[in-house]
A and B are shown apart, each in its own frame.
Chain A
């Protein structure tokens, strides 16, 4: 049986009209009705069309990280599968979550999320998917500890694969601050009046509270004296030149010597060192460790996403991306030879146990998120 498409329907209608079987009013009326029907069905037809996946959207942190993904993962993946990867950037997990909230399911697919607390937030908001791990055989190369924390949050299933880890430590200009001074003062150097006007910090409430907890001698995953924490944040604010809002701004402030000391992301500081800037990096005791994952959002084309995740976890891709973005990959060094550069990266754990890093407790941070993010907004502005 011959398939009747819209063109054939139109040609038959036109023939009837030309033969005089249809009057002009009926012909135009039917054409109009067909147009209306097409216009109405198109938004719904999108779901049927979505069965053929032509592209996957990926959102990450931009800068050198995105460049590494594009060069070592997305372009080879597209060449291999024919599926295009559209990559966007965000300045933080909060900003991205807001965008996702305003979007339709399926509009955003994969995100390079930071921290288990972000994973838990997305899961609690009903945005998580369920990966078919059989489609991601390269998951076996990942450090088990990194996988288990995610499983715990989402009841055994996974919505993401761990991808890399790093630290937020203290970055300082060696021309003005010696390594000895940094090790002696630790996190308290961020509230040292000697560097007033030459201090900066990320405008992220979690990071500010984490470092304020260290400055006040408290457990960053269980501060008991929050007034002392807020006072330390106020002290830091009054001594700071600026709160930076992106990795690019962090690098610019340090490279241009606008500031001498700030906390910073290990990979970005390593990139500055590679560029020849004499910037030191120090992880104080109980420094802020984090892991990043590739999170697949609910409503995404799962098989295409799983294929991309498997591609990105392949040791050769993962190592190339890690070397490009300067964060150690989530690959287990006991199972995979990570080459020569990765062992030199800040925060790298050669044992693959990550026991030396302190990660944020998702229950503690997410349980206080509403109150603390709001209070920080006020303290940040002079209150």
Chain B
């Protein structure tokens, strides 16, 4: 075997465990879902194999699914925006802190040690009628009666921000940490104020991290179903809840498969658009 052939094969050999895992754990199940989406559910709940377009016709033409999907994208977008606004100053503070950066990063990672469901449910004890916040408001006399704060769209967004904020901060931090701090000093020495130096130097250079965090938050937010289930009211469902209901409650795996693929395709298109117009390479090129 020549050296060239061996070198050409080497990356594939090294990648083969990861590629095998992706194929077995992602592509094969995805293929099953695609096949399932063309089956039908019979009246007894059993599946009828075949090639039927009924599930796709229903998923694509029924305004019910379209409306819930749009609402899901809206909630994911608001969550992403809030995460960006809240996450940037935190990431900036961590990146510019001296000495205690490791401790701050550890604190940022701490929530990941607790189950996502428990973190979500903790808001019930904070915002509930007899929760900590209402208790404080009543104790201080600010309100005479407990305020109903839970089980609405705002608490769903709050729960999502709580879940996704660390992802945003980490992405922005990685980007900010890679920026040479002397660039801001150079801008200052050329007459820029600190604010102008931030706006014209640091912010543009950190945009790839902000964009990556935004994409991650949006995709994770749009695919969640626990948060609306725990913190949402009767009408605060997101698209993943429809998938859950089709598969679990209605035992309609074929329709659930079509709906989950629909969400996958929509998010895939958004990611593709993002890469086309805001992708890292494009951003870096523009900054260059």
Give residues in A with beta carbon < 8 Å to B: 92, 94-95, 97-98, 101, 121, 124-125, 197, 205, 237-238, 240-243, 245, 252, 256-258, 369-370, 373-374, 377-378, 380-383
Contacts and interface: CB of A to CB of B under 8 A. Distances in A.
B238 to A, nearest CB: 10
Contacts of B252: 370, 374
Contacts of A381: 64, 68, 234-235, 237
Interface string B126-170: 001110000000000000000010110000000000000000000
Contacts of A241: 148, 150-151, 233
Nearest to B148: A197
B249 A258 contact: no
Contact of A242 (B41, B64, B234, B237): B234
A245 B229 contact: yes
| Chain A to chain B: the 8 pairs with minimum beta-carbon distance, closest first | A382-B235, A242-B151, A98-B248, A94-B249, A381-B237, A124-B44, A237-B234, A373-B250
Interface string B46-59: 10000000000000
A264 B228 CA distance: 22
Contacts of B124: 252
B95 to A, nearest CB: 41
Q: Name the residue in B41, B68, B237, B251 with the highest tally of chain A Cβ atoms < 10 Å from its Cβ.
A: B251
- Determine chain A's interface SS by DSSP, over half rule: helix
Which of under 10, 10 to 19, 20 to 34, or 35 or more describes the interface residues of B?
A: 20 to 34
A322 B242 CA distance: 36
Given A241-B151, A242-B234, A257 B251 contact: no
Given A241-B151, A370-B41, A101 B251 contact: yes
B247 interface: yes
Given A125-B45, A381-B234, 11 more contacts: A94-B251, A97-B251, A98-B251, A238-B234, A241-B150, A252-B124, A257-B129, A258-B150, A373-B249, A373-B250, A377-B249
B243 to A, nearest CB: 11
Nearest to A378: B64
Interface in B197-248: 229, 233-235, 237, 242, 245-248
B130 A256 contact: yes
B129 A121 contact: no
Nearest to A243: B234
A125 B128 contact: no
Nearest to B245: A377
17 contacts: A95-B248, A98-B248, A125-B45, A125-B46, A197-B148, A240-B233, A241-B233, A243-B234, A252-B124, A256-B130, A257-B130, A370-B41, A374-B252, A377-B249, A380-B234, A381-B68, A382-B235
Contacts of B68: 381
Interface of B: 41, 43-46, 64, 68, 124, 128-130, 148, 150-151, 229, 233-235, 237, 242, 245-253
B151 A125 contact: no
A121 B46 CA distance: 10
B121 to A, nearest CB: 10
A276 B148 CA distance: 24
Nearest to A124: B44
A377 B64 CA distance: 10
B266 to A, nearest CB: 18
A101 B150 CA distance: 35
A319 B251 CA distance: 35
Contacts of A95: 248-249
Contacts of A125: 44-46
Contacts of A377: 242, 245-246, 249-250
B247 A98 contact: yes
Contacts of A245: 229
Nearest to A241: B151
Contacts of B64: 378, 381, 383
Contacts of B246: 377
Nearest to B249: A94
Given A237-B235, A381-B235, A94 B44 contact: no
A94 B247 CA distance: 9
A240 B233 CA distance: 8
Nearest to B246: A377
A10 B153 CA distance: 66
A245 B241 CA distance: 13
Nearest to A259: B129
A382 B153 CA distance: 14
B250 to A, nearest CB: 5
A297 B233 CA distance: 36
Nearest to A367: B43
A124 B68 CA distance: 33
B129 A258 contact: yes
Nearest to A197: B148
